Amino acid sequence: MINPALTWIGLSTLLILTLELGFRSYLWFRARRDMSSEEGTTFVMSAALTMLALLVGFTFGMAQSNFELRRDLVTHEANAISTTHLRQQLLDDANRSEINPLMAEYVKVRMQFAAARSDREALDAVGRQTGDLQRRIWAATDRALETPSGQRIAVPLLNATNEMFDDAERRYAAFDAKIPDRIIRSLLGYAFGSALLVGLTLAATGSRHFMSTSGLFVLVALALSLIIDMDNGASGLITTSQAPMERVAALIASESGTR
Protein backbone atom coordinates (compact mmCIF):
# COMPACT_ATOMS: atom_id res chain seq x y z
CA MET A 1 0.00 0.00 0.00
CA ILE A 2 1.40 3.38 -1.03
CA ASN A 3 1.29 6.19 1.51
CA PRO A 4 1.28 9.49 -0.43
CA ALA A 5 2.40 11.56 2.57
CA LEU A 6 5.41 9.35 3.22
CA THR A 7 6.21 9.32 -0.49
CA TRP A 8 6.13 13.11 -0.57
CA ILE A 9 8.28 13.49 2.55
CA GLY A 10 10.76 10.89 1.33
CA LEU A 11 11.11 12.40 -2.14
CA SER A 12 11.37 15.94 -0.73
CA THR A 13 14.15 14.90 1.63
CA LEU A 14 16.10 13.02 -1.05
CA LEU A 15 15.76 15.82 -3.60
CA ILE A 16 16.95 18.45 -1.12
CA LEU A 17 19.88 16.23 -0.12
CA THR A 18 20.75 15.80 -3.81
CA LEU A 19 20.57 19.58 -4.25
CA GLU A 20 22.95 20.04 -1.33
CA LEU A 21 25.24 17.32 -2.68
CA GLY A 22 25.55 19.15 -5.98
CA PHE A 23 26.28 22.45 -4.23
CA ARG A 24 28.97 21.06 -1.94
CA SER A 25 30.51 18.89 -4.66
CA TYR A 26 31.17 21.93 -6.81
CA LEU A 27 32.71 23.81 -3.90
CA TRP A 28 34.90 20.81 -3.13
CA PHE A 29 36.19 20.57 -6.71
CA ARG A 30 36.70 24.32 -7.02
CA ALA A 31 38.73 24.42 -3.80
CA ARG A 32 41.12 21.82 -5.23
CA ARG A 33 41.25 22.90 -8.86
CA ASP A 34 40.83 26.65 -8.57
CA MET A 35 37.72 26.64 -10.77
CA SER A 36 36.37 30.06 -11.77
CA SER A 37 32.76 31.21 -11.61
CA GLU A 38 30.66 29.97 -14.54
CA GLU A 39 27.81 32.36 -15.19
CA GLY A 40 26.68 30.52 -18.34
CA THR A 41 25.61 27.49 -16.36
CA THR A 42 22.35 29.24 -15.46
CA PHE A 43 21.10 28.63 -19.01
CA VAL A 44 21.76 24.91 -18.62
CA MET A 45 19.90 24.91 -15.30
CA SER A 46 16.94 26.74 -16.83
CA ALA A 47 16.78 24.27 -19.72
CA ALA A 48 16.92 21.30 -17.34
CA LEU A 49 14.13 22.67 -15.15
CA THR A 50 12.01 23.45 -18.20
CA MET A 51 12.43 19.89 -19.43
CA LEU A 52 11.58 18.58 -15.94
CA ALA A 53 8.37 20.62 -15.95
CA LEU A 54 7.41 19.20 -19.35
CA LEU A 55 8.10 15.63 -18.24
CA VAL A 56 6.10 16.08 -15.03
CA GLY A 57 3.19 17.59 -16.97
CA PHE A 58 3.26 14.82 -19.58
CA THR A 59 3.36 12.06 -16.95
CA PHE A 60 0.66 13.75 -14.86
CA GLY A 61 -1.57 13.77 -17.93
CA MET A 62 -1.04 10.03 -18.40
CA ALA A 63 -1.92 9.34 -14.76
CA GLN A 64 -5.02 11.54 -15.00
CA SER A 65 -6.19 9.72 -18.15
CA ASN A 66 -5.83 6.34 -16.43
CA PHE A 67 -7.70 7.62 -13.38
CA GLU A 68 -10.56 8.99 -15.49
CA LEU A 69 -10.75 5.68 -17.38
CA ARG A 70 -11.15 3.73 -14.13
CA ARG A 71 -13.74 6.21 -12.85
CA ASP A 72 -15.77 6.10 -16.06
CA LEU A 73 -15.72 2.30 -16.10
CA VAL A 74 -17.18 2.19 -12.58
CA THR A 75 -20.09 4.36 -13.74
CA HIS A 76 -20.49 2.37 -16.96
CA GLU A 77 -20.55 -0.96 -15.15
CA ALA A 78 -23.02 0.36 -12.57
CA ASN A 79 -25.31 1.53 -15.38
CA ALA A 80 -25.02 -1.84 -17.14
CA ILE A 81 -25.89 -3.72 -13.94
CA SER A 82 -28.83 -1.40 -13.31
CA THR A 83 -30.13 -1.81 -16.87
CA THR A 84 -29.83 -5.59 -16.68
CA HIS A 85 -31.61 -5.65 -13.33
CA LEU A 86 -34.49 -3.49 -14.57
CA ARG A 87 -35.04 -5.72 -17.59
CA GLN A 88 -34.94 -8.79 -15.36
CA GLN A 89 -37.89 -7.36 -13.45
CA LEU A 90 -40.04 -7.97 -16.54
CA LEU A 91 -39.65 -11.73 -16.04
CA ASP A 92 -42.05 -13.98 -14.18
CA ASP A 93 -42.03 -14.03 -10.38
CA ALA A 94 -40.31 -17.42 -10.28
CA ASN A 95 -37.47 -16.23 -12.50
CA ARG A 96 -37.10 -12.96 -10.63
CA SER A 97 -36.89 -14.77 -7.30
CA GLU A 98 -34.00 -16.80 -8.71
CA ILE A 99 -32.10 -14.01 -10.47
CA ASN A 100 -32.48 -11.12 -8.00
CA PRO A 101 -30.43 -12.74 -5.19
CA LEU A 102 -27.72 -13.60 -7.72
CA MET A 103 -27.62 -10.00 -8.93
CA ALA A 104 -27.47 -8.71 -5.35
CA GLU A 105 -24.50 -10.98 -4.69
CA TYR A 106 -22.91 -10.05 -8.01
CA VAL A 107 -22.91 -6.31 -7.37
CA LYS A 108 -21.41 -6.86 -3.90
CA VAL A 109 -18.56 -8.84 -5.43
CA ARG A 110 -18.00 -6.17 -8.07
CA MET A 111 -17.80 -3.52 -5.34
CA GLN A 112 -14.93 -5.49 -3.80
CA PHE A 113 -12.91 -5.07 -7.00
CA ALA A 114 -11.67 -1.58 -6.13
CA ALA A 115 -10.48 -2.60 -2.66
CA ALA A 116 -8.84 -5.74 -4.03
CA ARG A 117 -6.73 -3.87 -6.58
CA SER A 118 -3.93 -3.39 -4.04
CA ASP A 119 -3.74 -7.15 -3.38
CA ARG A 120 -3.21 -9.48 -6.33
CA GLU A 121 -4.47 -12.55 -4.46
CA ALA A 122 -7.64 -10.74 -3.40
CA LEU A 123 -8.09 -9.52 -6.97
CA ASP A 124 -7.83 -13.07 -8.29
CA ALA A 125 -10.39 -14.20 -5.70
CA VAL A 126 -12.79 -11.48 -6.84
CA GLY A 127 -12.22 -12.62 -10.42
CA ARG A 128 -13.11 -16.20 -9.57
CA GLN A 129 -16.25 -15.12 -7.68
CA THR A 130 -17.23 -12.86 -10.58
CA GLY A 131 -16.83 -15.67 -13.10
CA ASP A 132 -18.83 -18.10 -10.97
CA LEU A 133 -21.69 -15.64 -10.53
CA GLN A 134 -21.67 -14.78 -14.22
CA ARG A 135 -22.15 -18.45 -15.09
CA ARG A 136 -24.99 -18.77 -12.59
CA ILE A 137 -26.69 -15.59 -13.81
CA TRP A 138 -26.34 -16.73 -17.41
CA ALA A 139 -27.83 -20.13 -16.61
CA ALA A 140 -30.76 -18.51 -14.78
CA THR A 141 -31.27 -16.11 -17.68
CA ASP A 142 -31.24 -19.00 -20.15
CA ARG A 143 -33.98 -20.74 -18.19
CA ALA A 144 -35.98 -17.51 -18.01
CA LEU A 145 -35.84 -17.09 -21.78
CA GLU A 146 -37.80 -20.30 -22.20
CA THR A 147 -40.85 -18.66 -20.64
CA PRO A 148 -43.29 -16.43 -22.58
CA SER A 149 -42.26 -13.33 -20.62
CA GLY A 150 -38.60 -14.10 -21.24
CA GLN A 151 -39.08 -14.60 -24.95
CA ARG A 152 -40.64 -11.14 -25.29
CA ILE A 153 -37.53 -9.43 -23.91
CA ALA A 154 -34.91 -11.94 -25.04
CA VAL A 155 -32.83 -9.59 -27.21
CA PRO A 156 -32.66 -6.56 -24.87
CA LEU A 157 -32.07 -8.79 -21.84
CA LEU A 158 -29.26 -10.71 -23.51
CA ASN A 159 -27.66 -7.49 -24.78
CA ALA A 160 -27.77 -5.93 -21.32
CA THR A 161 -26.38 -9.05 -19.66
CA ASN A 162 -23.53 -9.30 -22.18
CA GLU A 163 -22.72 -5.62 -21.66
CA MET A 164 -22.64 -6.14 -17.90
CA PHE A 165 -20.21 -9.04 -18.24
CA ASP A 166 -18.06 -7.13 -20.75
CA ASP A 167 -17.74 -4.17 -18.38
CA ALA A 168 -16.30 -6.45 -15.72
CA GLU A 169 -13.58 -7.49 -18.18
CA ARG A 170 -12.96 -3.87 -19.16
CA ARG A 171 -12.26 -2.99 -15.53
CA TYR A 172 -9.76 -5.83 -15.32
CA ALA A 173 -8.04 -4.47 -18.42
CA ALA A 174 -8.00 -0.97 -16.92
CA PHE A 175 -6.26 -2.40 -13.85
CA ASP A 176 -3.15 -2.98 -15.97
CA ALA A 177 -3.44 0.39 -17.73
CA LYS A 178 -0.79 2.12 -15.64
CA ILE A 179 2.16 4.32 -16.44
CA PRO A 180 5.06 2.00 -17.34
CA ASP A 181 7.59 1.61 -14.54
CA ARG A 182 10.37 2.74 -16.87
CA ILE A 183 8.69 6.10 -17.34
CA ILE A 184 8.27 6.57 -13.58
CA ARG A 185 11.89 5.59 -12.94
CA SER A 186 13.12 7.86 -15.73
CA LEU A 187 11.10 10.76 -14.36
CA LEU A 188 12.49 10.23 -10.86
CA GLY A 189 16.02 9.93 -12.24
CA TYR A 190 15.62 13.15 -14.21
CA ALA A 191 14.26 14.94 -11.13
CA PHE A 192 17.28 13.91 -9.07
CA GLY A 193 19.61 14.83 -11.93
CA SER A 194 17.98 18.26 -12.11
CA ALA A 195 18.40 18.75 -8.37
CA LEU A 196 22.09 17.86 -8.65
CA LEU A 197 22.53 20.25 -11.59
CA VAL A 198 20.77 23.10 -9.75
CA GLY A 199 23.10 22.60 -6.78
CA LEU A 200 26.16 22.68 -9.05
CA THR A 201 24.90 25.79 -10.84
CA LEU A 202 24.18 27.70 -7.64
CA ALA A 203 27.67 26.96 -6.36
CA ALA A 204 29.20 27.95 -9.71
CA THR A 205 27.43 31.31 -9.71
CA GLY A 206 28.29 31.97 -6.08
CA SER A 207 24.67 32.10 -4.91
CA ARG A 208 22.82 29.95 -2.40
CA HIS A 209 19.03 30.48 -2.40
CA PHE A 210 18.58 27.41 -0.20
CA MET A 211 15.00 28.17 0.87
CA SER A 212 13.68 28.96 -2.61
CA THR A 213 15.38 26.01 -4.32
CA SER A 214 14.36 23.65 -1.53
CA GLY A 215 10.79 24.90 -1.84
CA LEU A 216 10.94 24.26 -5.58
CA PHE A 217 11.92 20.63 -5.14
CA VAL A 218 9.37 20.13 -2.36
CA LEU A 219 6.76 21.12 -4.95
CA VAL A 220 8.36 18.81 -7.51
CA ALA A 221 8.17 16.00 -4.96
CA LEU A 222 4.50 16.83 -4.37
CA ALA A 223 3.76 16.57 -8.10
CA LEU A 224 5.62 13.25 -8.32
CA SER A 225 3.73 11.91 -5.30
CA LEU A 226 0.40 12.89 -6.85
CA ILE A 227 1.35 11.13 -10.09
CA ILE A 228 2.26 7.92 -8.25
CA ASP A 229 -0.87 8.07 -6.08
CA MET A 230 -3.24 8.82 -8.96
CA ASP A 231 -1.73 6.11 -11.13
CA ASN A 232 -2.05 3.53 -8.35
CA GLY A 233 -5.75 4.23 -7.77
CA ALA A 234 -6.23 1.39 -5.28
CA SER A 235 -5.05 3.08 -2.10
CA GLY A 236 -3.92 6.48 -0.95
CA LEU A 237 -5.62 9.85 -1.12
CA ILE A 238 -6.84 9.67 -4.73
CA THR A 239 -9.11 6.66 -5.20
CA THR A 240 -11.94 5.85 -7.58
CA SER A 241 -15.36 6.55 -6.07
CA GLN A 242 -17.65 3.53 -5.79
CA ALA A 243 -20.78 5.65 -5.26
CA PRO A 244 -22.49 4.50 -8.51
CA MET A 245 -22.01 0.85 -7.55
CA GLU A 246 -23.23 1.53 -4.01
CA ARG A 247 -26.45 3.07 -5.32
CA VAL A 248 -27.07 0.11 -7.62
CA ALA A 249 -26.34 -2.31 -4.77
CA ALA A 250 -28.89 -0.53 -2.57
CA LEU A 251 -31.49 -0.65 -5.38
CA ILE A 252 -31.02 -4.36 -6.04
CA ALA A 253 -30.96 -5.20 -2.33
CA SER A 254 -34.27 -3.41 -1.84
CA GLU A 255 -35.79 -5.22 -4.83
CA SER A 256 -34.58 -8.58 -3.54
CA GLY A 257 -36.05 -7.89 -0.13
CA THR A 258 -39.47 -6.82 -1.35
CA ARG A 259 -40.11 -9.51 -3.95
Answer whether residue 179 is part of any domain.
yes
Q: Is 251 helix (H, G, I), strand (E, B) or coil?
A: helix
- Coil, strand or helix: which one is 124? helix
Domain for residue 30, yes or no? no
- In a domain? residue 71: yes
Residue 33 lies in a domain: no
- The verdict on residue 238 lying in a domain is yes
- Is 131 within a domain? yes
- State which residues form the domain around 120: 4-24+39-258
Q: Is residue 32 part of a domain?
A: no
pLDDT of residue 258: 45
Residues of the chain with pLDDT under 70: 1, 31-40, 117-118, 233-236, 256-259
Q: What is the DSSP letter of 37?
A: P
Number of domains in the chain: 1
Residue 222 lies in a domain: yes
Class of residue 163 by CB neighbours under 10 A (exposed 0-12, middle 13-18, buried 19+): middle
